[in-house]
Amino acid sequence: MFRSSTSPSSADNGDATPNTRGHDGTGRTADTAPTPITVAYGDGIGPEIMAATLQILEAAGAHIAPDIIDVGADVYARGIAGGISDAAWASIRRTKVFLKAPITTPQAKGVKSLNVTLRKTLGLFANVRPVQTYDPCVPSGHPKLDVVIIRENEEGLYAGIEHRQTAEVTQCLKLISRPGCERIVRYAFEYARAHGRRRVTCMSKDNIMKITDGMFHRVFDEVAAEYPDITADHSIIDIGAGRLAAHPSRFDVIVTGNLYGDILSDIAAEISGSVGLCPSANLGEAGAMFEAIHGSAPDIAGYGIANPSGLLLAAVTMLRHIGQTAVAERVHGAWLATIEDGIHPADIYDPEHSTAKVGTREFAAAVIERLGRTPVALAHLAGDPARNTAVSPRPLAPRPRPTKQMVGMDVFLDWDEGERDPNALAETLARCGTHGLSLQMITNRGVVVWPNGKPETQRTDHWRCRFMAEGDTTTDHQALVALLESVRLAGFDFIKTETLCTFDGAPGFSVGQGQ
């Protein structure tokens, strides 16, 4: 068995390729201690597939010292609200290499996703999800699929900032930063250049979300100009997802936001043959986390039928990351040989292409039996560099701060009186204008209902009321506070405000019908 580690090694310095002193590519010499890594068995099918993965790594000669931690359901049950203890955090920060099995995230209730918390807290900004097909051994209908999806890991809707604001309306804030956009886009181009890939496609929805997704697209175009050797293009996310599903060979590297990347990688994984085949690497400046892209699948937990391939291939990526390349290739080659021999777990079993349907333990045993084998039908995938994630983008250049001027405020109200008549609401609010601020428009769920609203527009109890400085003047915090006091005295329940500002003279807020 691997011995547990409690002492740091060269992996602690955060280098992208630590512990590389060995002559065989494993990072091993006579005086080299095994590389400490943190391991979490997770829940659902996690314990089963992690046990299989570690068994294969040990048999292959991986020179690692796992430090086992508990995260997820069992930790929540012990009353630790975050699902992870201080000791577990300390282990991850010490080793800087984390191999994690799936963790169950409650749906529509319960605690915030621990997966998201781990990525964001540890600064793991780049989520690299390579997807390939294994035709003819695992038929998919897309034999040329070979795409790497690079997903921004820290921002967007996955910030998890949600509120119920009225009886009828909830909100989720989508936060996008320029440094976050630039960092992930540069990573994507550096990754493409390092791995001989010729195209990077940005996907966003900036025809609708012109400020948030618009920033992502604008930064992409700016950064792309610095990489003339790589073709750069953009696709609206909806048609881009459709094209990925129908014609995946059109794509090489895709860079996109957090939610979009999650969805796109699952689409690509499914059309490759199974979501159970795909690994994921989460990279940051101070560490890395490796996992399968799929979830904990509690419906099949305990039956011994889960496919460990996604986690195993993530472990292969981890071995490359810590400099144990020879062991990584030994495991990868054995896995490919197992797949081409038709030894398949249930999710990829097909009587026409498989020779045996096996459970988790049997599949692990088959991989171990083939250690040292060289694949034949899938030889072109052996040693694939697409899963080597050790890329360090250039530091972000400082940017001058724009001139910011305050020009108004959006006041959000919980208002449910009479027939919800926006004209009646506007009549009262117009008298609340003060200190050079006047009511300009009222929207309901983003649609203008005053002035010149349409009777067909459905109205909820949630209203955005825009007050702007009159003429071309600006305003200040004192005037905004006075406005809110006037709204309060008029008997309204304000639930949220947004200060409206220009940046170098350009509006920093949505304008117009339907915005």
Query: Of 27-36, 200-209, 298-307, where does mean pLDDT reach its minimum?
Result: 27-36
**CB-based burial label for 225 (10 Å; 0-12, 13-18, 19+):** exposed
Q: Does 504 qualify as catalytic in the annotation?
A: no
Q: Identify whether the C-beta of residue 147 lies closer than 8 Å to the C-beta of residue 253.
A: yes
Residue 46: pLDDT over 60? yes
Alpha helices in 73-211 (DSSP H): 73-77, 86-95, 114-121, 178-194
What domains can you pick out in the chain, each with its CATH number? 404-507 (3.30.70.1570)
Residue 496: pLDDT over 80? yes
Confidence bin at 514 (pLDDT 50/70/90): very low
Q: Does 238 qualify as catalytic in the annotation?
A: yes
Residue 17: pLDDT over 70? no
Average pLDDT over residues 214-225: 97
Per residue in 398-426, pLDDT (tens digit) is 889 999 999 999 999 999 998 999 999 99
Catalytic pick among 96, 100, 174, 205: 205
For residue 286, give the nearest of 122, 403, 170 by alpha carbon: 122
- What amino acid occupies position 14? G
Catalytic pick among 76, 158, 187, 260: 158
Residue matched to tokens 């045993």: 365
Q: Does 205 qualify as catalytic in the annotation?
A: yes
Rounded-to-5 percentages of helix, strand, coil across the chain: 35, 25, 40
Per residue in 153-186, pLDDT (tens digit) is 999 998 888 999 999 999 999 999 999 999 999 9
Q: Identify whether the C-beta of residue 466 lies closer than 8 Å to the C-beta of residue 499.
A: no
Residue 215: pLDDT over 70? yes
**pLDDT for position 12:** 35
For residue 179, give the nearest of 389, 16, 392, 399 by alpha carbon: 399
Average pLDDT over residues 448-475: 94
CA gap 442, 419 in Å, rounded: 16
Confidence bin at 502 (pLDDT 50/70/90): very high
Q: Does 461 qualify as catalytic in the annotation?
A: no
Catalytic pick among 238, 476, 493, 504: 238
Q: Does 112 qualify as catalytic in the annotation?
A: no
